[in-house]
Amino acid sequence: MAGMLYLVPTPIGNLGDISDRARKTLEEADFIAAEDTRVSLKLLNHLGIKKSLISYFEHNKAFKGNIILERILAGETCALVSDAGSPAISDPGEDLVKLCHENGVTVCAIPGPCAVITALSISGQATGRFCFEGFLSTAKKSRKAHLEDLKDERRTMIFYEAPHKLVATLEDMAEAFGEDRPISLCRELTKLHEEVVRTTLGEAIAKYTENPPKGEFVLVLAGAPEKEETVPTEADAATRVRQLMEEGLSRKDAVKQTAKELNLPKNVVYDAALNMEE
């Protein structure tokens, strides 16, 4: 019988956040695949669990993924853990899950600590609709393209970021979204120095340029505000027709162009222009 892959979330700072089910899964798995075996060993020691560990990280994932798959297909159960939080969210677990699905292996995700959801819920930003954007690329061109893509995004946007890149990221965000865009900077979640700074991009840049940031951050950025739709009035239409006629257009062409520009029926624009002349 084939084994299974369990995705086991681990605390993002507070060891008390490990659930009974997560602990039990780690105890019962045949082996544990870990992003950094030294980090996971500390957690296992804390939990009093002795288990065989295999490393699975960004630079060995292609090779190790196949070894893990073979062991699962041979009947073993594997528990996958990342350094902290939910495996497969902005860490190499994503590829192993895909590999398992492609090979008919059952994947079971245990719910638990996850930085993106913890940050969103504490952020004070709108939570009804949101999108997770992960880490921005370190390459200037692709980060700008990524942010440019999000320019008109109305949903709350969530980003992961390392402290040493925070100010540069905030500056790129201010360029794309404007300095006044609200943002919540969620730092050291579930830890002793947990902090949520609700501010604007411009103020965040000033704050962290003066006091270089420390710790882990999730950035929760407000979506673009709703654009106020202004309905053109008859007077707007008539004024625009007159303006275009003064520029040399015939009345017919001025009406046609105004109707197009203001998205109004031509007869409405024509009547408005006549009314004003009268």
C-beta of 55 vs 90, nearer to ligand SAM: 90
37-45, 51-59, 169-177, 212-220 -> range binding ligand SAM (CB under 6 A): 212-220
C-beta of 196 vs 249, nearer to ligand SAM: 196
- Report if residue 190 touches ligand SAM, rule: CB under 6 A: yes
Q: How far apart are CA 182 and CA 178, in angstroms?
A: 10
Helix/strand/coil for 112? coil
C-beta of 187 vs 240, nearer to ligand SAM: 187
Contacts 24+ apart (CB under 8 A), 240-243: 241/269, 241/272, 241/273, 242/273, 242/276
Residues that bind ligand SAM (rule: CB under 6 A) add up to a total of 24
Paired tokens of 196: 């949520």
- Report if residue 110 touches ligand SAM, rule: CB under 6 A: no
Minimal CB distance to ligand SAM: which residue?
A: 85
How crowded is residue 63: how many other Cβ atoms within 10 Å of its Cβ? 9
Contacts 24+ apart (CB under 8 A), 224-228: 224/151, 224/152, 224/153, 224/154, 224/177, 226/154
Among 218, 221, 241, 259, binds ligand SAM (CB under 6 A): 218
Among 15, 131, 162, 235, binds ligand SAM (CB under 6 A): 162
Among 17, 188, 236, 261, binds ligand SAM (CB under 6 A): 188
Among 25, 40, 86, 169, binds ligand SAM (CB under 6 A): 86
Query: Which secondary structure element, helix H or strand E, spans residue 231, and what is its range?
Result: none
248 torsion bin: left (phi>0), alpha (psi -120 to 50), beta (else)? left
C-beta of 168 vs 276, nearer to ligand SAM: 168
Contacts 24+ apart (CB under 8 A), 248-255: none
108-116, 139-147, 149-157, 263-271 -> range binding ligand SAM (CB under 6 A): 108-116
Helix/strand/coil percentages in the chain, nearest 5: 45, 20, 35
63-71, 78-86, 236-244, 266-274 -> range binding ligand SAM (CB under 6 A): 78-86
Q: By the criterion CB under 6 A, which residues form the site for ligand SAM? A: 12-13, 82, 84-86, 89-91, 114-116, 160-162, 186-191, 216-218
